[in-house]
Chains A and B, each alone.
Chain A
Amino acid sequence: MPRGSENPFPDDDAATRGGWGRDHLRVIRDSAHFVSANLGTSLLVWLLVGIALALPAGLYLLERNLQDLSAAWDGRPGLSIYMDLGIDVAEVETLKTRLAAQAHVASVLVTLPDAALREFQAYSGLGDTLDMLSGNPLPASLRVILDSDAGASDLEALAALAGASPGVHEVVEEKTWLARVKDISTIVRRLSMVLAVLFGVGAVLVTASSVRLAIEARLEELRVQKLVGATDAQIRRPFLYFGAIYGAGGALVALMLISTTLLFIEGPLTSLFSSYGSELQLIGFDPAFLVVLLVLGGVLGVLGAVLSASQRIVALEIH
């Protein structure tokens, strides 16, 4: 026999073919047993991981819906400007020209008092009654429509400019709440990214420390396994499954938390939306979201397990 560095006992065990798959099966059974035998601890870990995942995942859903809402809103942000009664048409035209020259202004529509009255007569069905009025009670008005790049601050600036112009009686910003949705959704998106990182790290640390506890509880068993020839990968394996179970279980808890929250806020949210003439239609809480969250939870859990299993198991001493 050559005096090399190979195993002095070449592996000749035909009996152990297919052992890798069997080892995984055994470990899964083992882990399930361990998790259910330590149900109190497991529930606690699931709850902790679940809360850590629920917040960024919930914010993500909120952000998607806000974005959807601002995209679905067909009216662009705009202003209605009502002039003083009896003002000169030329003055209205001057204001129109000035406003049209501003940045982000897509168009400016002028409605003169006569046109406004005709429109109102047709619209209200009060044609004859209004004929009895001695003069036209309606002012001239301008409608300014901004382009889609315009933000809430552009609208404010324009409103201020119009308000300070001569002959202007009142300026009404239209749908300012919806115009802000875009800004809000940007804030929510950035916030949820920061929280996702922070709470993701939190989830990893929670699983890491609970896997650490599981390792400490089974140290004697790991020593025996090492003694009889288990590889480091084999010894680590059950703990990676722990991590996956803790992480995916946590994701399940997160899903339950989110759906409970949605049920809880559905009532007030529906009435809020309908007051703005928009129908509540939540998106994003779909099968793909569930799967992604479960997988993400599992991956974070395994990451935590790798973190705590690696150093501890390599350093395992047999006395």
Chain B
Amino acid sequence: MGYIELHGVTKRYSNGFEALRDLNVEFGAGSMTFLTGHSGAGKSTFLRMLLRLEDVTRGQLLVNGVNVTQLSKRQLPFYRRHIGAVFQDHHLLAGRSVFDNVATPLRVIGMPEKDIARRVRAALQRVGLLAKEKLLPLYLSTGEQQRVGIARAVVNRPRILLADEPTGNLDPDLSRDIMALFEQFNQVGTTVIVASHDRELIEASGRRIIELAAGRIVSDTPAMSVDMAVCDAPISTEEQWRAQGI
């Protein structure tokens, strides 16, 4: 049984456009998968749907055995607290320091400030930005801003980590650094899905690649080696994140 399962999932936008059509696919616990396809193929829609930023029009979306299409408005925030999300335009708050940006998810769950400080610094250390915690995002390079976004996504020890074009406007070296971070966070058992149209980068990774075209899955290439598939690895636990320092 997959950790994330889609059964006949269709997403139709309010204007009648079907961005995802009858998807049937599973993601193992602790797996890392790339989602690829041309612009407009439906990658962003797929990730937004997993976050329940979009409603599912038809079909079942199971996460850890629970049909999340049926989560109520009240339950939704609590579901989202366990999913880390990274966007291409990173959604950082321009008026807040790097530290405050990363601390947002922890403040939302009402963690005491002294625990927040420890966790935020651990996450910033992981992405190599500990020295810049007091700066405003404005004073960081694009690659650094993206890494702040990643630190914010992992600071609450998510079970699932989603990233939409996280290397979108980075040069190849920086892109590789970012990918290395996702692999690192995948090692604690977090289920990672990264949408990217950078074929070169994702093929070099040797991970599972799902290709979308016009809202359908046109190919599903398994990981190149067994240890890269890590299907049914234990899902992330407190201890495993702690081993990462977070």
By a beta-carbon cutoff of 8 Å, the part of chain A in contact with chain B is 1-9, 11, 13, 15-16, 18-20, 22-23, 26, 220-221, 223-232, 234, 318
Do B107 and A26 have beta carbons less than 8 Å apart? yes
Q: Which of A16, A223, A227 contacts B111 (CB 8 A)?
A: A16
Do A7 and B67 have beta carbons less than 8 Å apart? no
Q: Which of B78, B91, B107, B115 contacts A227 (CB 8 A)?
A: B91
Say how far A209's CB is from chain B's closest CB, in angstroms. Answer: 23
Do B63 and A22 have beta carbons less than 8 Å apart? no
Residues of A within 8 A of B68 (CB): 8
A3-B62, A5-B70 given as contacts; is B110 within 8 A of A229 (CB)?
no
B105 part of interface (Cβ distance < 8 Å): yes
Say how far B54's CB is from chain A's closest CB, in angstroms. Answer: 10
Residues of A within 8 A of B152 (CB): 228
A16-B110, A220-B91 given as contacts; is B75 within 8 A of A7 (CB)?
yes
**Stretch touching chain A among B35-43, B79-87, B218-226:** B79-87
Q: Which of A11, A23, A220 contacts B93 (CB 8 A)?
A: A220
User: In chain A, what residue has the closest Cβ to B105?
Assistant: A228
Do B93 and A221 have beta carbons less than 8 Å apart? yes
Do B104 and A224 have beta carbons less than 8 Å apart? yes
Beta-carbon contacts under 8 Å, B86-104 to A: 91, 93-94, 96, 104
Number of CB contacts from chain A to chain B under 8 A: 99
A8-B68, A229-B81 given as contacts; is B109 within 8 A of A13 (CB)?
yes
Residues of B within 8 A of A230 (CB): 77, 108
Residues of B within 8 A of A22 (CB): 110-112
Do A229 and B109 have beta carbons less than 8 Å apart? yes
Do A7 and B79 have beta carbons less than 8 Å apart? yes
* A-B contact list, 9 entries, CB within 8 Å: A9-B64, A9-B82, A15-B111, A15-B115, A16-B111, A221-B96, A224-B93, A224-B104, A227-B80
On chain B, which size bracket covers the interface?
Answer: 35 or more
Report how far A26 CA is from B91 CA in the complex, Å.
22
B72 part of interface (Cβ distance < 8 Å): yes
Say how far B146's CB is from chain A's closest CB, in angstroms. Answer: 15
Report how far A223 CA is from B108 CA in the complex, Å.
12
Given contacts A1-B66, A26-B107, A318-B53, 13 further A-B contacts (CB under 8 A): A2-B65, A5-B66, A6-B75, A8-B68, A8-B82, A18-B110, A22-B111, A220-B91, A223-B91, A225-B104, A228-B108, A228-B156, A229-B108
Q: Which of A8, A16, A223 contacts B64 (CB 8 A)?
A: A8
With a 10 A CB-CB cut-off, give which of A8, A18, A224, A226 has the most chain B CB atoms.
Answer: A8
Residues of B within 8 A of A13 (CB): 109
Say how far B26's CB is from chain A's closest CB, in angstroms. Answer: 15
B159 part of interface (Cβ distance < 8 Å): yes
Say how far B46's CB is from chain A's closest CB, in angstroms. Answer: 15
Residues of A within 8 A of B110 (CB): 16, 18-20, 22-23
Do A6 and B66 have beta carbons less than 8 Å apart? yes
Say how far B32's CB is from chain A's closest CB, in angstroms. Answer: 19
B71 part of interface (Cβ distance < 8 Å): yes
A3-B66, A5-B71 given as contacts; is B111 within 8 A of A228 (CB)?
no
Report how far A221 CA is from B110 CA in the complex, Å.
17
Report how far A15 CA is from B70 CA in the complex, Å.
28
Q: 9 closest pairs, A vs B, by CB?
A: A19-B110, A229-B81, A8-B66, A1-B65, A8-B64, A229-B80, A228-B105, A9-B82, A5-B70
Residues of B within 8 A of A231 (CB): 74, 77
With a 10 A CB-CB cut-off, give which of A19, A228, A231, A234 has the most chain B CB atoms.
Answer: A228
Residues of A within 8 A of B107 (CB): 23, 26
Say how far B69's CB is from chain A's closest CB, in angstroms. Answer: 9
Report how far A228 CA is from B53 CA in the complex, Å.
11
Report how far A13 CA is from B110 CA in the complex, Å.
10
Residues of A within 8 A of B64 (CB): 1, 8-9
Report how far A26 CA is from B112 CA in the complex, Å.
10
Say how far A34's CB is from chain B's closest CB, in angstroms. Answer: 11
Do A9 and B159 have beta carbons less than 8 Å apart? yes
A13-B109, A228-B152, A230-B108 given as contacts; is B79 within 8 A of A3 (CB)?
no
Residues of B within 8 A of A6 (CB): 66, 75
User: In chain A, what residue has the closest Cβ to B119?
Assistant: A15
Say how far B162's CB is from chain A's closest CB, in angstroms. Answer: 11
Do B109 and A16 have beta carbons less than 8 Å apart? yes
Report how far A313 CA is from B105 CA in the complex, Å.
18
User: In chain A, what residue has the closest Cβ to B112?
Assistant: A22
Residues of B within 8 A of A7 (CB): 66, 71, 75, 78-79
Say how far B94's CB is from chain A's closest CB, in angstroms. Answer: 8
Beta-carbon contacts under 8 Å, B160-208 to A: none
A16-B110, A19-B111, A318-B53 given as contacts; is B81 within 8 A of A228 (CB)?
yes
